[in-house]
């Protein structure tokens, strides 16, 4: 596995996108997801990308990696999820971030990204 150094952390060049954990590609089998994530980690993958928009993918990922959380780099995204319009207001971002932390069973998110543009919120409020 090849890695890229970011600060004091070596991040795998290969990452796992966790959209599939939402069940979007077919039947949801938590045991299979657990095997996939654990096997990827065994092979050296330590970068996992998820989003609040991916159903309960954050919860599933958080549960699976909690025993080795300090050894992985987690990216998640904010701004849109089922049932709401894109929202990048300061109030929404703070609330969504707190929920993502809870879902991921962690006290930090390595990379927090904007998932979709929200032209109704001034960029100054989002940054």
69: Cβ contacts below 8 Å, ≥ 6 apart? 105, 106
Of 3, 19, 54, 73, the catalytic one is: 54
Q: Is 6 a catalytic residue?
A: no
Q: Report how far residue 34's alpha carbon sits from residue 16's, in angstroms, rounded to the nearest whole number.
A: 12
φ and ψ at residue 17, rounded to 5 degrees: -85, 130
Structure tokens at 100: 């993502």
- Catalytic residue numbers read 54
């Amino acid at each position: 596995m090849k890695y890229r150094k970011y600060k004091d952390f070596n991040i795998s060049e290969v990452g796992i996108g966790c959209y599939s954990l939402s069940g979007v590609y077919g039947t949801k089998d938590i045991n299979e997801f657990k095997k996939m994530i654990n096997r990827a980690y065994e092979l050296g993958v330590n970068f996992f990308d998820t989003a609040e928009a991916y159903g309960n993918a954050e919860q599933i990922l958080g549960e699976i990696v909690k025993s080795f959380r300090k050894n992985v780099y987690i990216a998640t995204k904010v701004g849109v999820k089922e049932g709401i319009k894109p929202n990048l207001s300061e109030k929404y971002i703070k609330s969504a971030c707190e929920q993502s932390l809870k879902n991921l069973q962690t006290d930090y998110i390595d990379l927090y990204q904007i998932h979709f543009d929200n032209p109704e919120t001034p960029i100054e409020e989002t940054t």
